[in-house]
Amino acid sequence: MARHRNDLGARKSVRVELQTQGFLIPAPNAPWIECTIVDVGDGGVCLDVGDLAVPKLFGLAFTAGGEVLRVCLLVWRRGELIGARYVSAKELRQGLTPAENSDRSAMAG
């Protein structure tokens, strides 16, 4: 059962603990890999992926049928847990994430 965390810490939004099955999609035509969705928020997700190598950009299916999909960017890893933020359609169309855009701007200037 989902429950809200009372302790936001440094987070800007509420996280909802799920502890439910999800599927990491490492590449567009790759097999889906089972993982555990630990918690979710408006901007990202925490996953338990075991010792799986996770690419910087990956897909996440919240359901076995793929009815709910998000594109995610790996932000941190602590042992078997990873944190990722959701990537917007605009970022995907541009082919870059905001952090990568600002890095490029700094290099060009």
- The model's pLDDT over 94-109, given as tens digits with 9 standing for 90+, comes to 885 555 544 443 333 4
What are 41-80's pLDDT values in tens digits? Answer: 999 999 999 999 999 999 999 999 999 999 999 999 999 9
Q: Return the CATH number of 3-108, one of 2.40.10.220, 2.60.40.10, 3.90.79.10, 3.50.50.60.
A: 2.40.10.220
Q: Are 86 and 75 in contact (CB under 8 A)?
A: no
Q: What type of residue sits at position 66?
A: G
Q: Tell the burial category of 85 from Cβ atoms under 10 Å away from its Cβ (0-12, 13-18, 19+).
A: middle
pTM as predicted: 0.77
